[in-house]
Amino acid sequence: MDHLKSWLADYAAAGRYRSLRPLTARRDGRLLVAGDAVSRYLCDFSSNDYLALSQHPELIRSSREALEGYGTGVGAARLMSGDLALFHQLEQEIANFKGCAAALLFGSGYMANVGMIPALVGRGDVVFTDRLDHASIYDGCRLAGARLLRFRHNDLAHLEELLKKERGTGRGLVIVESLYSMDGDIAPLAELVALKNRYSCLLLVDEAHATGLYGQHGAGLIQEAGLADQVEVVVGTFGKALGSYGAYVAGSQELREYLINRARSFIYSTGLPPAVVGASLAAVRLVRNHPELRRQLAERAAYFKDCLIREGLPGIPGPSHIVPVMIGDGATALRLAEECYRVGLFLTAIRPPTVPEGSARVRFSLTLHHRLDELAEVARLFMTTCHHLRINASF
Ligand SMILES: *Cc1c(COP(=O)(O)O)cnc(C)c1O
């Protein structure tokens, strides 16, 4: 096992080493990290629990009801004896929510992408991905064995160039996210739909970071753009704004039946725990009925970006509640995140290879756990920390 040790040493030397930091408490957007020198609560800016639903009494109640009704696990894959009517109920809710004919649950967003993409395309087909697409999308593409062509982030001209070149070579699948978690920016969905139609491709949109936050019913950016009937495959997770766990794929009835028969991560894996599905059911209903939640998050994000501008952060902020602050060099971003940790802010440093060389950043992920008065204070503390370390940050 010597090669593990030397690999780890090399990885650490390159400044890429990652380690776990277990929490002993996690509540109201505050974290208590085990083994910290001083016992104190950190303010969490790295969570995707955008609407603070993970601690909502309605999710807890619905989760507990499912737990008590069906037990802790279903004991088998759904195609065996692990299928519950409760799962179908959630799938129906999701289909209605997303404006699609049908939906299918997966164990997680990661499992959805690594199972669904190889079911849809294979050798002889071509996949066009945005360079910033999530790792699970790339892993799905690798498993599929299809030819992979990456276009520059949100660059329609580059995508069209690739589509033109590949015209007529097997099936084409374009895969994008609707809201990108690294840049906090939004895909040009209407233009993407026009392009995939022009070149007769399928379009897969991953709404991981947008589900629950956009559109009339909170279904996501596809709903906001009025394109629900134009996108063939939509995937999203229950683990982010919906405060639960698991994922869904939404689309046509045939897509659902096809994936039940073809997606290996669906076929060969145990059904979700009932408690998780109970929480997800409550979350979808809550999001539909409470548009004020997403409005409040948008207001809080706008306020925080204003605070950073007032504190002197140059550049133009992005459109969403995910607020990256560009640092440039990976080691500097890490040093800043560590200093922020010391002063009580839990932020993630995002470095290459996750983002392109020279565009390392720290990222604020805003949630309804953060109060307005607290955000002004956080912006001040963050900018003071940048000045102390002589770091030139910008939006
Ligand atoms: C988080 C994320 C996933 C993975 O979802 P999980 O449910 O956490 O496995 C997939 N795709 C994108 C775009 C994501 O941001």
Side chain identity at residue 381, one-letter code: L
User: 205, 237, 242, 244: which to mutate for ligand 1, most atoms within 8 A of CB?
Assistant: 237
Residue appearing with tokens 């949109």: 205
Dist CA 288 CA 231 (whole Å)? 21
Q: pLDDT, tens digit, for every residue of 203-225?
A: 999 999 999 999 999 999 999 99
User: 47, 49, 110: which to mutate for ligand 1, most atoms within 8 A of CB?
Assistant: 110
Decide whether any atom of ligand 1 lies within 6 Å of the 109 Cβ.
Answer: yes
Query: Other CB atoms closer than 10 Å to residue 71's CB: what's the count?
Result: 12
Per-residue confidence of the chain (395 residues) as pLDDT tens digits?
889 999 999 988 887 788 888 888 888 889 988 877 667 889 999 999 999 999 999 999 999 999 999 999 999 999 999 999 999 999 999 999 999 999 999 999 999 999 999 999 999 999 999 999 999 999 999 999 999 999 999 999 999 999 999 887 778 999 999 999 989 999 999 999 999 999 999 999 999 999 999 999 999 999 999 999 999 999 999 999 999 999 999 999 999 999 999 999 999 999 999 999 999 999 999 999 999 999 999 999 999 999 999 999 999 999 999 999 999 988 899 999 999 999 999 998 998 888 888 999 999 999 999 998 899 999 999 999 999 999 999 99
Q: What pLDDT, on a 0 to 100 scale, did the predictor assign at position 24?
A: 87
For residues 8 and 17, the answer to whether their CB atoms sit within 8 Å is yes
H or E segment at 372?
helix 372-388
Active-site residues, by number, are: 48, 134, 177, 181, 206, 209, 240
* Percent helix / strand / coil, the chain, rounded to 5: 45, 20, 40
User: 48, 108, 133, 136: which to mutate for ligand 1, most atoms within 8 A of CB?
Assistant: 136
- Output the CA angle 374-378-381, nearest 5 degrees: 140
How remote is the C-alpha of 382 from its chain's centroid?
Answer: 25
Q: What pLDDT, on a 0 to 100 scale, did the predictor assign at position 34?
A: 83
Dist CA 49 CA 51 (whole Å)? 6
Side chain identity at residue 385, one-letter code: T
Dist CA 290 CA 157 (whole Å)? 38
Looking at residue 54, the DSSP 8-state letter turns out to be G
Q: What pLDDT, on a 0 to 100 scale, did the predictor assign at position 13?
A: 86
Strand order in the sheet with 322-328: 322-328, 360-365, 348-350
- Find, among 26, 31, 63, 43, the residue nearest to 286 by Cα: 63
Q: What pLDDT, on a 0 to 100 scale, did the predictor assign at position 97?
A: 96
Decide whether any atom of ligand 1 lies within 6 Å of the 107 Cβ.
Answer: no
Dist CA 70 CA 340 (whole Å)? 44
Task: Report residue 372 as tokens.
Answer: 């307005």
Decide whether any atom of ligand 1 lies within 6 Å of the 184 Cβ.
Answer: no
Task: Report residue 334 as tokens.
Answer: 């890490």
102-106 and 247-251 strand pairing: antiparallel
Q: What pLDDT, on a 0 to 100 scale, did the predictor assign at position 21?
A: 85
Distance 280 CA to ligand 1 centre (A): 16
- Find, among 233, 251, 294, 244, the residue nearest to 107 by Cα: 244
**Mean pLDDT score of the chain, rounded to an integer?**
94
For residue 291, cis peptide bond before it (omega within 30 degrees of 0): no
Q: What pLDDT, on a 0 to 100 scale, did the predictor assign at position 71?
A: 98
For the chain, strand residue ranges (E) read 23-27, 30-33, 41-44, 102-106, 126-130, 147-151, 172-177, 202-206, 233-237, 247-251, 322-328, 345-346, 348-350, 360-365
Index of the ligand 1 atom closest to the CA of residue 177: 13
Strand order in the sheet with 30-33: 23-27, 30-33, 41-44, 345-346
